Amino acid sequence: MEEKNRLRRYVVAGIVVFVLLSLAGAGFWGYRLLYAPNFMPANTVYVYVDREKDFDDLCRQLADSAACSRIDAFKMLAKMVDYPEYMKTGRYAVAPGMNNLALVNSLRRGQQAATSITFNNIRLKEDLAERLDEQLMIGKEEVLELMNDSTFCDSLGFSAETIHALFIPNTYEVYWNIPAGKLIERMKREYDRFWTEARLEKAKAIGLTPAEVAILASIVEEETAASEEYPVVAGLYINRLKKGMPLQADPTIKFAMGDFSLQRILYEHLEIESPYNTYKYPGLPPGLLRIPSIKGLDGVLDYMRHDYLYMCAKEDFSGYHNFAVTLAGHNQNALRYRAELNRRNIR
């Protein structure tokens, strides 16, 4: 009898040990699957999931750029929660020491890391769309379709020629997969925030709408590369507008010609038929020549009060200008500049 009891105790003890070992093994396996660090990049990296990327593509990216130690463990957990069937687009952060559970949860829930976008020194709407295409998931065609839709532009208070005035050059935090329409809505909020009561009052005092300020600022920025001249050049054009004189701004001719590389505006160029030809048509052109910077916009709003009506590039090609009150004074400046063009054989 004692022998049987002893045997029974051995069997029970063995079962307990087996269960404990099994539980310990399962716990260790579960820990490695869920909580053990599995991604060890030197710094936080970001993985991108677009509409075309499938689960295998994502796993390859994690293995290549996120220093994944056990990609099979990540795949196992992801498939256990059906993530491959419900992938969400976005930009996701993978931090050093991240475990499978944290990353899978982030991916499944669409918990993205925001990205910074910038757009400076942009001329055409096509250039802007290209820059956004480079930084976000949206394609340039999506952006251009909206920016060329006159009904959509009108709903925001713009025309198809002025809609890019909506984009105030700066750095903005957005989600990488933001749709084109939502991005433009966000830019409208930033635009409204930029156009404070103080700025609106300054524009009103000049007699310009915010969009017209942007048009004039775009001409000013194309006219001079010296930002300290912005208020002077803006004051000159405002003087002309007030007097009903045509702006006669050479950058508008370059825009009409579709050639910003022109170094010398000839009389034949001035004959081009275009609403942007400010030698033929008085007032502002219908749209922007470029997206002006904040400094350019404020250069118009805080324009310098003076009597200048004429300007000509300095003959030293410094990028600065000679200004004149009278046509006679301007002709003297222009004569010196043309002589230097001829000397340098610039045609």
For the ranges 16-25, 142-151, 307-316, the lowest mean pLDDT is seen at 16-25
Tens digit of each residue's pLDDT (9 = 90 or more) over 198-213: 999 999 999 999 999 9
Secondary structure letter of residue 315 according to DSSP:
T
Three-class DSSP category at 312: strand
Q: Measured at the alpha carbon of residue 15, what is the angle toward residues 9 and 17, in degrees to the nearest 5?
A: 100
Phi, psi of 271 (to 5 degrees): -90, -5
End-to-end CA distance of the chain: 119
User: Model confidence at 334, in pLDDT bands (50, 70, 90)?
Assistant: confident
Structure tokens at 236: 């000159």
SS (H, E, C) 12-24: HHHHHHHHHHHHH
The token duo for 96 is: 């050093």
Q: Chain-wide mean pLDDT for the chain?
A: 89
Q: Is the confidence at residue 320, as pLDDT, over 80?
A: yes
Three-state secondary structure call for residue 94: strand
* Number of C-beta neighbours around residue 295 at 10 A: 13
63-87 pLDDT, tens digit each: 999 989 899 999 999 899 999 999 9
- How large is the average pLDDT for residues 249-259? 94
pLDDT band for 26, please (50, 70, 90 cuts): very low
Q: Residue 22: pLDDT band by 50, 70, 90 thresholds?
A: very low
- Residue 34 token pair: 């869920």
CA angle, 165 then 167 then 170, to 5°: 130
Q: What are phi and psi of 139, to 5 degrees?
A: -90, 155
Mean pLDDT of 255-283: 91
The pTM of the full predicted model, rounded to 2 decimals, is: 0.85
Structure tokens at 51: 């509409």
Cα separation values, 303 from 232, 298, 330, 341, Å: 6, 8, 21, 30
Instruction: Report helix, strand or coil for 43.
Output: coil
How far is Cα 240 from Cα 251, in angstroms, rounded to an integer?
16
Domains, the chain? 32-113 (3.30.1490.480), 120-194 (no CATH), 197-306 (no CATH)
The closest of 309, 315, 310 to 337, measured between CA atoms, is 315
